[in-house]
Amino acid sequence: MSFAELGLMPELLTALDAVGYTNPTPIQREAIPIVLSGRDLLAAAQTGTGKTAGFTLPLLQRLATLPVLHPAPKHRIRALVLTPTRELASQVEESVKQYGQKLKLSSMVIFGGVNINPQRDRLQRKLDILVATPGRLLDHVGQGNVDLGGVEILVLDEADRMLDMGFIRDIKRVLALLPKQRQNLLFSATFAPEIKTFAQNLLDNPAKVEVAPQTTTAERVEQRIYPVDRDAKKALLQQLIVDGDWKQVLVFTRTKHGANRLAEQLDKDGIPAMAIHGNKSQSAREKALSAFKAGKLRVLVATDIAARGIDIDALPHVVNYELPNVPEDYVHRIGRTGRAGAGGEAVSLVCVDEHKLLADIERTIRQKLERVIVPGFEPDPNAKPEPLRKPQAARQPRRDFPQRSAQGHAAQAPRSAGPQRDGQPRSSGGVAAGNRPQIEGGRDRGNGSRPAGSGQRRRPSGNV
Ligand code: AMP
């Protein structure tokens, strides 16, 4: 099926030609006709599936072809896209510009950590599509810079990440400012229970589209299990990195302590490595990330929560040094590789203690993963499983969320008081907005108070 057959207008087809897409991806095939029809949509699709074009193309077409739904004397924005991170916001807005190059629709991106004034100035002029991270959007709302009363289409992109990062209160505040009559599109990597609950409250009789993780990743991401003894994992990892000549690898551990120890050991053995997790200072995290992105650091060791806040595209190698407690995190982890059509490899070092976690993962992704025994690392067939070290750093399973969100405001209290980040209460010391490069400012709003109109809000530490 071609893009034309999906009902896209000539201006969009020309733009798609220019960017070189010939065929729609599965999520695009399913989502585009639904969005064009005006229906609400709940879509499970990871980054890398082409989801951005899946909502951007029909959104552009609706705005270009339909009369303004909520006319106002002054220019008001007609479509709002919320994303968890500034990088994703930028990417989405780039897509809007790219696909909408032949249309007379205007767009802008706003996120925290940069000077607010140029954004405020741009908001004074005509604007059709606003892509924003929630905290900075609310800053502008507080300053009276933006009127959300004309929004016809709302998109929540990577909604699961937004919930995970504590944006729920911000999103609810934004929702309260939107007109009732509008189209809602919710994209999430998985249909985890907390997303379903959230979607139930937000969406009106939505169409559901699910691009199963295993088919979206299997095409580009090679997944493999290396059965290995507990104590041989580090040596196996080193061998994989060195023999495979891996230049850039993201390694996941279950605990902060484990991340530190592994990074130190690798580094000592001559493989440049650093750890990022919730106990690291903002500057240490930034340093590790930029070194990794610049290719100066071969290995970045991360915990799940720490990795969620960062956008690193197109990683060739992801290693699960330890399997995650929650199967959905496996999906998130391997989603870090094989992006943008690039190939990727996601391998898991699995010892006898983790067999149950592995079974849970395989059930979730409905896929049996290939086992490869590396000569010299054959696991002891008589090894007895030990209970997984009670990670002082274990995160709350994401399944806990529905109860919290279902209970409304009061239920947010634990988060506001300092949510568990890798099991540690998050410190709430202020950090200047400009010091938080990867994660948009103001995830959790502390006690939720905000000096009206000042745009100055208490900032959390940004520790992830
Ligand atoms: P996304 O999942 O939206 O982050 O997109 C992942 C990557 O796929 C991006 O680099 C897009 O430019 C690319 N892409 C999206 N749709 C298509 C398509 N139909 N054909 C080829 N590449 C695409």
- Which atom of ligand 1 lies nearest, measured to the CA of 48? 2
* 379 part of a folded domain: no
Residue 249, strand partner residues? 299, 317
Clarify whether residues 363 and 250 are in a common domain.
yes
Nearest CA to ligand 1 atom 23: 50
Clarify whether residues 203 and 276 are in a common domain.
no
* 206 part of a folded domain: yes
Best-predicted range by mean pLDDT (315-324, 338-347, 428-437): 315-324
Distance in angstroms (rounded) separating the CA atoms of residues 330 and 365: 9
| pLDDT for the residue 403 | 28
> Of 51, 59, 13, which Cα lies nearest the Cα of 29?
51
Token pair of 266 as six digits: 């690798």
Tell me which of 321, 336, 371 is where a domain ends.
371
CA–centroid distance, 220 to ligand 1, in Å, is 13
* 190 part of a folded domain: yes
Q: How confident is the model at residue 46 (pLDDT cuts 50, 70, 90)?
A: confident
Clarify whether residues 75 and 53 are in a common domain.
yes
398 has pLDDT over 50: no
- Which atom of ligand 1 lies nearest, measured to the CA of 47? 2
Clarify whether residues 167 and 228 are in a common domain.
no
Residue 169 sits in a domain whose CATH number is: 3.40.50.300
Around ligand 1, the residues with Cβ closer than 6 Å are: 21, 23-25, 28, 47-53, 340-341
Q: Which whole number is the average pLDDT over 202-231?
A: 79
Clarify whether residues 230 and 203 are in a common domain.
no
In this prediction the pTM is 0.57
Q: How confident is the model at residue 1 (pLDDT cuts 50, 70, 90)?
A: confident
| pLDDT for the residue 376 | 96
CA–centroid distance, 340 to ligand 1, in Å, is 6
Q: How confident is the model at residue 283 (pLDDT cuts 50, 70, 90)?
A: confident
CA–centroid distance, 50 to ligand 1, in Å, is 4
* 13 part of a folded domain: yes
Domain that holds residue 90: 4-210
* 423 part of a folded domain: no
Nearest CA to ligand 1 atom 18: 21
Residue at 127: amino acid letter: L
The model's pLDDT over 57-108, given as tens digits with 9 standing for 90+, comes to 999 999 999 999 988 767 689 999 999 988 889 989 999 999 999 999 999 9
- Which atom of ligand 1 lies nearest, measured to the CA of 52? 3
Clarify whether residues 144 and 228 are in a common domain.
no
- Which atom of ligand 1 lies nearest, measured to the CA of 49? 2
Q: How confident is the model at residue 211 (pLDDT cuts 50, 70, 90)?
A: confident
* Contact by Cβ (8 Å): 420, 396: yes
> Of 87, 14, 88, 102, which Cα lies nearest the Cα of 55?
88
Torsion sign across C-alpha atoms 128, 171, 194, 285: positive
| Pocket perturbation via mutation, ligand 1, pick of 2, 3, 25, 336 by most ligand atoms within 8 A of CB | 25
Nearest CA to ligand 1 atom 9: 340
> Of 64, 162, 65, which Cα lies nearest the Cα of 105?
64
The model's pLDDT over 179-205, given as tens digits with 9 standing for 90+, comes to 999 999 999 988 888 899 999 999 999
* Contact by Cβ (8 Å): 50, 28: yes
The residue that leads in pLDDT, 287 or 250, is 250
Distance in angstroms (rounded) separating the CA atoms of residues 382 and 263: 30
β-pairing verdict for 420-421 and 424-425: antiparallel
Clarify whether residues 240 and 176 are in a common domain.
no
Token pair of 402 as six digits: 């529905």
Distance in angstroms (rounded) separating the CA atoms of residues 349 and 227: 6
| pLDDT for the residue 155 | 98
Clarify whether residues 226 and 200 are in a common domain.
no
* Burial track 264-276 (b if 16+ CB lie within 10 A, e otherwise): eebbeeebebbbb
Alpha-carbon 272 to chain mean position: 27
* Burial zone of 86 (CB within 10 Å; 0-12 exposed, 13-18 middle, 19+ buried): buried
Token pair of 157 as six digits: 């992109």
Q: What SS3 state is found at 75?
A: coil
Cα end-to-end distance, the chain, whole Å: 42
CA–centroid distance, 122 to ligand 1, in Å, is 28
Tell me which of 181, 210, 239 is where a domain ends.
210
Clarify whether residues 28 and 151 are in a common domain.
yes
Distance in angstroms (rounded) separating the CA atoms of residues 318 and 310: 14
Query: Which segment of 232-246, 278-292, 340-354 scores lowest on mean pLDDT?
Result: 278-292
Clarify whether residues 148 and 60 are in a common domain.
yes
Q: How confident is the model at residue 121 (pLDDT cuts 50, 70, 90)?
A: very high
CA–centroid distance, 233 to ligand 1, in Å, is 35
* Contact by Cβ (8 Å): 106, 416: no
- Which atom of ligand 1 lies nearest, measured to the CA of 45? 2
CA–centroid distance, 158 to ligand 1, in Å, is 15
Clarify whether residues 197 and 240 are in a common domain.
no
* Burial zone of 306 (CB within 10 Å; 0-12 exposed, 13-18 middle, 19+ buried): buried
Instruction: Please give the mean pLDDT across all residues of the chain.
Output: 80
Number of domains in the chain: 2
* 15 part of a folded domain: yes
In this structure, what are the phi and psi dihedrals at residue 231, rounded to the nearest 5 degrees? -80, -5
Nearest CA to ligand 1 atom 5: 50
| DSSP H or E segment with residue 251 | strand 249-252
Tell me which of 371, 402, 434 is where a domain ends.
371
| pLDDT for the residue 306 | 72
Nearest CA to ligand 1 atom 6: 48
| pLDDT for the residue 240 | 96
Q: What SS3 state is found at 445?
A: coil
The model's pLDDT over 19-41, given as tens digits with 9 standing for 90+, comes to 888 889 889 999 999 999 999 99
Clarify whether residues 206 and 228 are in a common domain.
no
408 has pLDDT over 60: no
| Pocket perturbation via mutation, ligand 1, pick of 21, 51, 97, 215 by most ligand atoms within 8 A of CB | 21
